[in-house]
Amino acid sequence: MIELKHISKWYQVGGKPTFILKDINLTIKEGEFVSIMGPSGSGKSTLLHILGMLDDANEGEYHFMDQPVHSLKEKQRSQIYKQHVGFVFQAYHLIDELTVYENIETPLIYQNVKTNERKAMVADMIDRFNIVGKKDLFPTQLSGGQQQLVGIARALIAKPKLLLADEPTGNLNSKQGEEIMDLFKQLNKEGVTIIQVTHSEKNAGYGSHIINLLDGRIEQGN
C-alpha cells in the first residue's frame, strides 16, 4: 500500500542542511497496524505528515496505492488524500465554532457529498460511536476522551483506507486511552490500515508492527 524509498527531509540552518529524516525506506501493507516510536525530535511527526501528504519530502520517492505521490500535482494529490486518508491529532483539533454533528460532517462537505447522503453517513457514524446525545454540543462542552472520539469519527467519516494518528492518547487519561486503543484495534480488524505515532510502549503493543526512529533514521534490528 505504502512504499517509501530514500525519503529525506531537511531544513537549511545557517546554510547547512539539518536533517529531520534521512534516507527512510519503508513498506507498509494494507491492513497493517504500525506504531512509530522514538524520542522527541526524532522526526516521528514529520514522517507521519509526509505519509499523510500534508508535507513534502526534499528527496526520495513515495508510492501510495501504486501512485507516485512525489511526482503528482497538488490537485491530484489532494484528491487521493481526501479519498483515502483520515487524520487524528493529539489535541483533537475540532473546530470550536461547530457542533459535534457539524464537525463530523465537514470532510464530506469538502468532498461534495450530497446533503441526504451526508445526513445518513453522519447519523451512522454517530450511532456507531454512541454519541447521539452529544451531537448538538460544542467541543468545549465535552471531555477530552469524548472530543477524541469525535475526532476519530470525523477521520473515519469518509471511509478512508488509511488512518494516521499523531499521539492520539497523549492528552487523555489511561482509561480513556485504553478505550481509544481498543477502538483502533477494532477498526484495524475491519480492514483500516493504521499508522500511529506514540510514546507509549503499551499503546505500541496494540499494533502489528513497530518502527523505531532515532535522529531521523529507522533503527534496525526490530
Q: What angle do CA 218, 92, 36 make, to 5 degrees?
A: 10
| CB of 22 vs other proteins, minimal distance in Å | 19
- Cβ–Cβ contacts within 10 Å for residue 219, how many? 13
| CB of 41 vs other proteins, minimal distance in Å | 13
Q: Return the residues of window 142-181 that contact other proteins according to CB under 8 A.
A: 154
Q: Please choose, out of 18-26, 57-65, 90-98, 115-123, the segment that lies near other proteins by the rule CB under 8 A.
A: 90-98
The DSSP output letter for 15 is: T
Binding-site member from 10, 19, 89, 138 for other proteins (CB under 8 A): 89
Compare residues 31 and 52 and give the one whose CB is closer to other proteins.
52
Total number of residues that touch other proteins (CB under 8 A):
21
Report whether 25 contacts 199 (CB < 8 A): no
Is 78 a binding residue for other proteins by CB under 8 A? The answer is yes
Report whether 36 contacts 218 (CB < 8 A): no
Cell numbers 484528491: residue:
79
Q: How far is CA 58 from CA 20, 46, 68, 140, in A?
A: 11, 12, 15, 38
Query: Which positions touch other proteins (CB under 8 A)?
Result: 45, 49, 54-55, 78, 81-82, 87, 89-91, 93-97, 106-107, 110-111, 154
